[in-house]
Structure 1
Amino acid sequence: MKISSEHAGVIFTLASAMLFAAGPIIIKLAYQVQLSNWQFLSLQYLWSVALLLPLYLLGRNKHPEQPMTKEKLGSLALQGSIGAFGGAAFLFTGYQYIGAAVGTVIFYTYPAFVALGARIFFRERLGKTHFICLFLTFIGVLLTIDLQSFGQGDVSLKGVLLIFASTLCYAFFSLYGERNLKLSSPLEVTFFTQMFALLTCLIIKPPYFLFQGVSKHALLLGFAMAFLTSVCSYLLLFKGISLIGASKSAVIGTFQIPFAIFLAMVVLKEHLTLSQFIGASLILGGIIYLYAGKNHDDRHGFRQDSC
């Protein structure tokens, strides 16, 4: 039986979410071997570009891309430096102050910001479902950060703010990715965003630590992070976005939450309190409701506002 393009997009996005779920766990393991956030970020991007370069060159020879214009290169540079690098830098730093499970729950409020961004930049119509989603997300975040014990244990104000900054960057990354995919293949977008993220990282914080020697564990964790979350996940995500759009991909990607919580419990021995579990459920439920409501509107003929 032939799979429809929409179902294929859902499968690609779910696979991407499962691989992304390993990211917070790998970051926490990197901190356990005394790697700083900047060191690990540098290793990830070095491995990412090294893995993607031959794939990109091979794919370009077989399937020529559209010419690389200055405008196209500038768009990819913006997505890579702000979206990819900014999102990762804030996320990596945030996980120094917050647990992997809680951080992942807060991070996956980003589909709500994608919905708002789609309204602002793509003139998509915001209806009742969007506002209900935002309300559930807001309540879910309050429960997740557990205000009664805020600043203790796995939750700190600094960590929460850093994770939120990451969500804004990643929302930009997803929205701008949808725009860039109209001119480039998923492989080209993945390669150039990672390359510009690496260049931004090298400019801000040159990796002098590499000349002092790097442990095998650090190299292995950097490779795992690059291969799973920067190469495979992004390729699958962009393929999903090209088939079903940024908004739907963002919604389906929230299924990273249960995957990441499960891995955090098994690998890092973390756990969520009852209020945090309810908060995570509200965020996940709100995003799913947004997706279901949007599909309902589409079936009943509601159209996006014109630009």
Structure 2
Amino acid sequence: MKEKRFWIGILLGVIGVVLFSSKAVMVKLAYKYNVDSITILLLRMLFSFPFYAVIALLYSKETNNILIKKIDYAWVVFFGLVGYYLASYFDFVGLKYIKASLERIILFVYPTIVIILNRLFLQQPISKNQTIAIFLSYLGIIIAFSNEIEISGNNIYLGGFFVLLSAITYASYLVGSGWLIPKFGVVKFTAYAMLVSCFSVFIHYSFINETDLFALPWQVYGLGLLIAIFATVIPSFLVSTSIKMISSSNFAIVAGIGPISTIILASFFLGEELSLIQFFGALLVIIGIIITSIKKDKL
């Protein structure tokens, strides 16, 4: 029975990771219809909003028998702004300039950023294995980008910078929100943070509205819906369930298919190609993050 549960957890994890990986590909497809970053992000949040609103309502009465203060709700708002609104916006902007496959390679290093932030702000030591893992991850990124400048031009640096900002803001959210999750619970906290992100995007769009939301190609609405349901809501619960069933250490290994699945999807739907040396760079990143995640879980 335990073995069956383990393999079901593996399957759910694989599906969740692949679905998450499809987000970058669908965003790149939407950009082919001359839609800007904030508009496609708005569609993602509009279609996601009802799901998270219902989830927040259903879990509103759930308690972990831990006192929740008013300041805790203020922190939820803050981390919702940083972890989901800013991280998503930076990611969507970065995707305008770089390949979906390269975007996933950069985003995949967020566990190493978590370790670095913990060292800087929480004085947590970095082990030798973690140092090696961090070195491998960033060496992999350098290798992956080594000849991309000749293919994509100088904008590759701008796109990479925005995606790295996305990884940093998401890592900051993970570091800072760790003490809030036990109070609210994972599902409730995530739903609340996502709702904050939704409202932030709504406000952002209202201030810089440059497009008519009701005059977009039908393909853009369709992609927005797919991003919301199949690359946001569904995988978030599949991944959470998988981690519960197989542990975060095992899921770290499963998550290693993320960049690979993005590369495959981007090749099939976008016609993107990576050189052999870029594949090698991606492999180094994957190895580094697996080492980092496993070591972090053991600590």
**1: distance between equivalents of 2:71 and 2:11?**
32
Instruction: Tell me whether 93-102 or 71-80 shows the greater mean CA deviation.
Output: 71-80
Q: Could you say what secondary structure the match of 1:150 adopts? A: helix
Structure 1 partner of 2:194? 194
TM superposition shift of 1:25: 0.7
Residue 301 of structure 1 corresponds to which residue in structure 2?
none
Amino acid at match of 1:108: F
Counterparts in 2 of 1:199-210, with a 5 A limit?
A: 199-206=199-206, 208=209, 209-210=211-212
Aligned-residue offset at 1:110? 1.3
Structure 1 pair 151–190 and aligned structure 2 pair: CA distance change class (3 A): farther
Consecutive unaligned residues in structure 1, runs of 5 or more: 299-303
User: In the aligned structure 2, how far is the partner of 1:210 from the partner of 1:180?
Assistant: 38
Judge conservation of contact 2:64–2:182 (CA < 8 Å) in 1: no
Which residue, 218, 227, 230 being the options, matches 2:229?
A: 227
* Alpha-carbon separation, structure 2, partners of 1:244 and 1:24: 27
Q: Secondary structure of 1:103's match?
A: helix
Distance (Å, rounded) in 2 between the aligned partners of 1:178 and 1:196: 17
Counterpart position of 2:274: 272
Aligned length: 295
What amino acid sits opposite 1:182 in the alignment?
Answer: P
Which one-letter code corresponds to 2:190 in the other structure? T
| Range that drifts further, 244-253 or 112-121 | 244-253
Q: Matched residues in 1 for 2:215 and 2:90: separation?
A: 26
Q: What do residues 239-264 of structure 1 show as CA deviations (whole Å, max 9, x unaligned)?
A: 56778998986675343111111111
Q: Name the structure 1 match of 2:35.
A: 35
Report if aligned partners of 1:84, 1:194 keep a CA contact under 8 Å in 2.
yes
Name the structure 1 match of 2:138.
138
| Greater Cα shift, 18-27 or 51-60 | 51-60
Moved more, 268-277 or 176-185: 176-185
The letter for the 1-side match of 2:87 is: G
Tell me, yes or no, if structure 1 residue 259 matches structure 2 residue 250: no
1:164 corresponds to: 164
Return the alpha-carbon distance in structure 2 between the equivalents of residues 130 and 201 of structure 1. Answer: 35
**Secondary structure, counterpart of 1:183 in structure 2:** helix
Aligned to 2:50: 50
For 2:221, give the aligned amino acid: L
Query: Which amino acid letter does the alignment assign opposite residue 35 of structure 1?
Result: V
- For 1:181, the equivalent position in structure 2 comes to 181
User: Retained in 2: the 8 A contact 1:114–1:250?
Assistant: no
CA distance in 1, matches of 2:112, 2:4: 26
After TM superposition, the structure 1 stretch with the greater mean CA deviation from structure 2, 99-108 or 232-241, is 232-241
Q: Which residue of 1 aligns with 2:105?
A: 105
Question: Offset at 1:76?
Answer: 1.6
Residues of 2 paired with 1:239 and 1:119: CA distance? 29
Distance change (3 Å), C-alpha of 1:142 and 1:279: same
> 1:11: how far off?
6.4
Q: What SS does the aligned partner of 2:255 have?
A: helix
The residue type equivalent to 1:217 in the other structure is Q
Matched AA of 1:22: S
Q: CA deviation at 1:81?
A: 0.6
Taking the aligned partners of 1:7 and 1:69, their CA distance within structure 2 comes to 40
1:290 maps to what in 2? 292
Partner of 2:152: 153
Q: Which amino acid aligns with 2:21?
A: A
**Which stretch of structure 1 is more off in the superposition, 30-39 or 196-205?**
196-205
Sequence identity percentage: 22
CA distance in 2, matches of 1:272, 1:120: 35
* More divergent stretch after superposition (211-220 vs 29-38): 211-220
Range 90-99 or range 220-229, more displaced:
220-229
Q: In the TM superposition, what is the alpha-carbon distance from 1:165 to its structure 2 partner?
A: 0.6
* TM-score, normalised relative to structure 2: 0.84
> Does structure 1 residue 216 correspond to structure 2 residue 218?
yes
Label 1:9 to 1:78 Cα distance change in 2 as closer, same or farther (>3 A).
farther
Deviations 1:160-193 (A, max 9, x none): 1111111101212333443332112333222211
> Does the aligned pair in 1 maintain the 2:112–2:289 contact within 8 Å?
yes
Q: Which moved more, 1:70-79 or 1:262-271?
A: 70-79
Aligned pairs for 1:60-75 within 5 A? 60=60, 63=62, 69-75=69-75
